[in-house]
């Protein structure tokens, strides 16, 4: 029986890092070296390895991920059965969601990384890469969109979050939990969340979107400046279920009349409310002033979806339609 063909794209990150000359660890290993360090991969799949970037993940841009999405689509068109993206963990939740939005194919796309450098005792990179390739090669993983596989857990892109700065178990899906796990070398999918609409990868990178997290006493003085700074829209992480101080609500309404504004929550997880609280600055008040509810999406992910929805000059109606599936 022929082994599946899996495209492995390394973007850099801790999984590729070794000690540098100036101290600390820096990205050094490429995709081919990562694959060679895990001989068991040859028993699972025929690997095609490339290194489009060698960057720490804070330096990856949404434009980089749009390019990665296009390369995966080209790989699928050329006969690859699945794809694995390797990168730093700092931005995995954003990269996974971007790829989930941009790649419509049913073939598995899996993103992974490591919390420990390649030379660290107990480095988790090889085990994570092996689990990721096993998942990308599994027929059961088809039709689930982009998945994040770390520490043997399998997460759906729209739910996964980095929840710790140091632990190998840093990744969680607080709203629903992992949708599966790699056990005894076999991906076991326990939940199959439905695919949600995708957006074309050929439309370019997301438009610039401001992300504001609301804090006690914040008076909104930054809001008036946002349109003049080149932002196409804004995401506001409100308090609790989507609330801001009463005196800020009119300012957000004025901003929403000038650009699309999405209301998310600064809480770790949970949907933005739409019809419970009715006081000034509550979600009913803000949605009545033209803000768009983010639904279950975090502010980080809402920012990416809004930026993609606003490509080609699209406005409020298109932005609202993009968030409707996440309510």
153 is in an annotated binding site: no
Helix ranges, 121-266 (H): 125-136, 249-256
135 is in an annotated binding site: no
Cα separations in angstroms, 48 against 79, 87, 128, 171 = 11, 17, 18, 27
The answer to whether the beta carbons of residues 150 and 50 sit under 8 Å apart is no
- Return the closest-CA partner of residue 86 out of 13, 161, 170: 13
Taken in order 154, 156, 159, 163, the sign of the CA dihedral is positive
14 is catalytic: yes
**Tokens representing residue 272 in the block:** 């933005």
User: In 10 A of CB 45, how many CB atoms?
Assistant: 22
Element (H, E) at 113: none
The answer to whether the beta carbons of residues 26 and 100 sit under 8 Å apart is no
14, 16, 112, 146: which is the annotated catalytic residue? 14
**Tokens representing residue 284 in the block:** 């009913």
- Return the closest-CA partner of residue 109 out of 138, 78, 79: 138
**Tokens representing residue 258 in the block:** 């000038």
Map tokens 């070398």 to a residue: 185
Please name the residues in contact with 295: beta carbons below 8 A apart, sequence gap of 6 or more: 271, 272, 323, 325, 326, 327
81 is in an annotated binding site: no
Feature table: binding site:
57, 89-90
Active-site residues, by number, are: 14
Feature table: binding site for substrate:
57, 89-90
């Amino acid at each position: 029986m022929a082994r599946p063909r899996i495209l492995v794209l390394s973007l850099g990150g801790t999984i590729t890092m070794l000690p540098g000359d100036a101290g600390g660890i820096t990205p050094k290993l490429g995709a081919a070296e990562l694959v060679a360090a895990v001989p068991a991969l040859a028993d699972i799949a025929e690997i095609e390895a490339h290194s489009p970037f060698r960057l720490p993940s804070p330096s990856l841009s949404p434009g980089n991920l749009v390019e990665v999405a296009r390369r995966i689509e080209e790989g699928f068109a050329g006969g690859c059965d699945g794809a694995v993206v390797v990168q730093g963990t700092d931005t995995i939740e954003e990269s996974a969601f971007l790829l989930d939005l941009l790649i419509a194919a049913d073939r598995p796309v899996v993103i992974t990384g490591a919390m420990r450098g390649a030379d660290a005792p107990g480095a988790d990179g090889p085990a994570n890469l092996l689990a990721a390739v096993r998942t990308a090669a599994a027929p059961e993983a088809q039709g689930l969109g982009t998945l994040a596989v770390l520490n043997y857990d399998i997460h759906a892109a729209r739910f996964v979050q980095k929840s710790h700065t140091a632990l190998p178990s840093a990744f969680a899906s607080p709203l629903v939990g992992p949708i599966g796990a790699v056990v005894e070398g076999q991906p076991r999918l326990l939940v199959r969340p439905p695919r949600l609409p995708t957006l074309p990868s050929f439309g370019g990178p997301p438009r610039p979107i401001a992300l504001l997290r609301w804090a006690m006493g914040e008076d909104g003085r930054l809001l008036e400046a946002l349109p003049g700074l080149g932002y196409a829209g804004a995401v506001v992480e409100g308090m609790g279920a989507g609330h801001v101080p009463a005196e800020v609500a009119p300012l957000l309404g004025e901003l929403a009349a000038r650009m699309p504004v999405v209301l998310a929550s600064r809480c770790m997880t949970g949907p933005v409310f739409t019809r419970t609280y009715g006081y000034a600055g509550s979600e009913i008040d803000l949605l009545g002033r033209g803000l768009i509810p983010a639904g279950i999406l975090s502010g980080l992910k809402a920012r990416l979806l809004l930026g993609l929805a606003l490509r080609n000059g699209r406005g409020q109606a298109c932005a609202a339609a993009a968030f409707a599936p996440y309510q």
